[in-house]
Structure 1
């Protein structure tokens, strides 16, 4: 049984997807971890929960730190039977993620390095078209292991 206490939007066609809007603040990470764990439980992919929870935490932290947006949309999508995509959509398309190297004594700057290590691939997609780009989604994908 899951604990999805708030209704989340599910895709009406195509691949399964859940999304929900939250405030763009570090405290949203707890709700994001819960959402990801609950969705993965529905899909019977509990073995991915720890990696996915870490990834969503870092994506939320990056959005809260690097964008001025009041809210973000968390997405958990199953684009294929072999992949789970976890993403954060914000309305700051000019602030693109860049994988960098943090100094050894730096207290921050390792979020994308962690995502890069935990996910099978990651990236971002711009939303909108032409001159009307209104936002971006920073996402990470985790591959589903074959059943033994």
Structure 2
């Protein structure tokens, strides 16, 4: 078993980075890191969604690349937002498949749980990321129509 230690960011946005071997047990470690960091930052309400997101992103790396190592980064973008990313050396972009596909629906979960998500390509590989916002900060999807006689 390889010991992995999350490194706090010394400059820039608050965050943690960990390098994990591309092995199934790394998904459990990444989930635990996300949960621990979000609890430390006082936004444990995002932990469940954050764990699912990091699981899906890291599992995509395990299933669709030949990388030996992946990097997980958790950054505090603002008081109400957290960015979770998984970086690997593959330049193959993740594909959002149809919801009727037998496999590959993990990105639908990432899209559903996150405020925004995407993939940034680099010469060395890619970073697939998702941003979570606290419930209070996320815009409401439901806007009730005004009733007769109500003022706006």
Mapping of residues 64-79 of structure 1, within 5 Å = 64-79=62-77
TM (norm. structure 2) is 0.82
Q: Which residue of 2 aligns with 1:35?
A: 33
Task: Work out whether residues 96 and 104 of structure 2, in 8 Å CA contact, stay in contact via their aligned partners in 1.
Answer: no
Report the structure number with the largest CA radius of gyration.
Answer: 2
Unpaired runs of 5+ residues, structure 2, are 138-152
Task: Work out whether residues 124 and 139 of structure 1, in 8 Å CA contact, stay in contact via their aligned partners in 2.
Answer: yes
Aligned match for 1:99, one of 88, 96, 100: 96
Equivalents in 1 of 2:64, 2:130: separation in Å? 18
Q: Which residue of 1 aligns with 2:22?
A: 24
Q: Which residue of 1 aligns with 2:124?
A: 134
Q: CA deviation at 1:27?
A: 2.3
Equivalents in 2 of 1:118, 1:99: separation in Å? 14
Once structures 1 and 2 are overlaid, which stretch shifts more, 21-30 or 65-74? Answer: 21-30
Equivalenced residue count is 135
Equivalents in 2 of 1:110, 1:122: separation in Å? 15
Q: Which structure's residues are more often strand, by fraction?
A: 1
Give CA deviations for 1:26-75 in whole Å, capped at 9, x if unaligned.
Answer: 32110011000010011011110000000011011101011110010011
TM (norm. structure 1) is 0.84
Unpaired runs of 5+ residues, structure 1, are 128-132
Q: CA deviation at 1:97?
A: 1.4
Instruction: Give yes or no for the alignment of 1:111 onto 2:111.
Output: no
Give CA deviations for 1:112-134 in whole Å, capped at 9, x if unaligned.
Answer: 0111111111001123xxxxx00
Equivalents in 2 of 1:67, 1:6: separation in Å? 21
Give CA deviations for 1:92-144 in whole Å, capped at 9, x if unaligned.
Answer: 12x0012120436x1x21010111111111001123xxxxx001110011012
Task: Work out whether residues 18 and 77 of structure 1, in 8 Å CA contact, stay in contact via their aligned partners in 2.
Answer: yes
Report the secondary structure of 2:124's partner residue. Answer: strand
Task: Work out whether residues 87 and 126 of structure 2, in 8 Å CA contact, stay in contact via their aligned partners in 1.
Answer: yes
